[in-house]
Chains A and B, each alone.
Chain A
């Protein structure tokens, strides 16, 4: 049948169009942007907006046996959608099977719900890998393992870590925007290091590859806890696009790199526009074809009769019979698929954050000028040795700086292996710039809380320093619904300490990660 023949390629096209379709739903970027914006602010209003049931008050007394599937965050749903669209067949790492994992009741004299907000004598109930309730008058559920401590605190999250990455891939010079961190994740290397990191209270970290490339690819948020299974370690497979400027080490070259970076982001945007145009043309065409089909179907009987009549006539007259031909409208031409441009376009539109590793004042200034016209771009500066030179602009645009404890290229004088970067943290906060603290390419992942302590020693307020390794990191990577705070529905990544989190005298007594107790006192 002619009609079915017409339909088949159409369906195929539709499927292909959707599966490779880089354009997102209209509300996509704006929603995500909202989250990120709030991430850099003091409060988490956006969180409240997204999940109004999260308030501690409401959590009180709720044992909440609701499993993890009850996902309220649009982010997550979208993530899933992303993957389906991209044809990513990997199992969804966030989905925890129902009724598995231990039931935990953690009680603390002080419960740091998020930096700056402390509940006295409160408890946290964990099941199925997630926090089910937080409150001051929670009863111990039956069968729960009870853990008591002085301070409960969200697990530390390192926004830039080298833990568990294959070193050569990490310093690769040939990566591109679609390179996936997961490709270099080595599950079996350095079990002792993972252990030390976990004992220091660092439960999760963002890692990426290609330090020596312009685009290091897509970072991933991973768990520190060892697992034989990659999926168990992945909290978010694609957190941000990482880029690095000044690879040449010279200033003018660095400026060129800024231009090139921005034009690549723009080309990504054009690419997505091209796809959007194609989609709309495709829809028009499909509509037209459908109408045509309907018309043909409707006129089928009449057409058949007409045809028979004509055939008869032709026979009578001895003339040759010509079949009526239907002119089919031409299908729009599909743009060529380009995975790199897809990612760049999403970054341009603010669907994914861009982390730019850069230090020099000239490059930072050019980067800020160049990106001023990209209103949706969500940028984070990593390194930022000279960031104080552009601090007012960073503060005005709420661009966070990820500080790491290493010599800054831009400061050959006094470039000791030490706390330079952390002194920067205090200075930036005083200038009103949001700050994250990471261990970076060559820092020690297990020393993350010590780096935060040092930053306090350099004048960073303590709540800011704690936020710089917890909630702010979650916000920066659109994980405010998962990490960085002790609220209902968040992943159960919790520390039990015998003192304030940033005191060197405090011991991490218990670590709960993935909903299980993974560190406990020896004996």
Chain B
């Protein structure tokens, strides 16, 4: 009997060794075992708290429907538009999963942020949403972290090291990545390189290293000196800014390192020396006659002045500006605008920063988020959602980067579109450099995001309107804002609740 016991023991030991070996083998090479609840990698990620991971089994006979929210990008070139991109993405995914239907809801550019917040609040979120990343959504628990899908054994060329580190950093909260980074938009002004060179500006240097308020004012003075005696109708203006909203101040404050008007502790961040310095710069530019009149509405003529060669710098410009420039230059080349000025050489420029400081680019990362459906179960659908989100994020970024001033977050894909980002090579370098070094702006909590909105609406915007009208000086701005905030105007409902 002794030999029998020994044999059984040996068998058990061998079995255990074999099992351990098999588990290890599957752990190292997960494709050796089909996905399911006993997959070692799946168990590993489940133990780490990931309910959704790539080793959740997708039932091949079950029908799945993924709901996707996205933005209808107003881009159409060569007979190809966003609808075609959607169809392509859908077809690609169906080739992998024939039992998955994808339904799209396309929202307007400025609606999607609020819509997804509201949907998450009401537990009616879609499976996938393309939107600028909003960290406050993570608090809801509905967003699926995607780290497990970046596992090197399954990620392919979509591992963590394949993306722009700054973009991933923007999407990481408490050590987890919460969305697939798609593309990065950089805040910029635009300039006419020819005019800037005439004013003594080293344009390429500015695009690489940034420029300070003093540099801008020096440019304005140089241009003004050249304009002496020129009739108002033919004058060239150094700077034409957007003055109907807070966009100009936003970009300047972000470049000054004060991206947000409200601090993490809820106190006002836009006050004191940094705000005064920025406003003084604008005030000085105004005193130097750098702006066209009427200053409160100068932005409404910015493109006319720019394309007629009468504006050296305009700003801020949106991501669609590159598309506008490209289209217009193409049409000018075709002779469709016979009266177009020869001397307009559009370039993207960094936002100026305070003297002595450093150029501080501010970026925003648009991501593709996957959501869990309310209630128990649904991990298989969530896995499909994450995989679809990955595919969509890259396809959309590639397409948009060919059309707008945006940089794909995927480093490999970026190679494919080099030569297409930005209106020219120098602008492209500026954008890619800024995407790599820029700081993502935005609050990390819903409460602060709402406070920010409230402070801007209730105090900053009205004060800025007075400032542009010329009835409020830079030195009085702080006190005016404080007075408005203290005046007791009701805050939005959600701010009170939080």
Tell me whether A and B are bound partners.
no
Residues of chain B touching chain A, judged by Cβ–Cβ distance below 8 Å, are: none
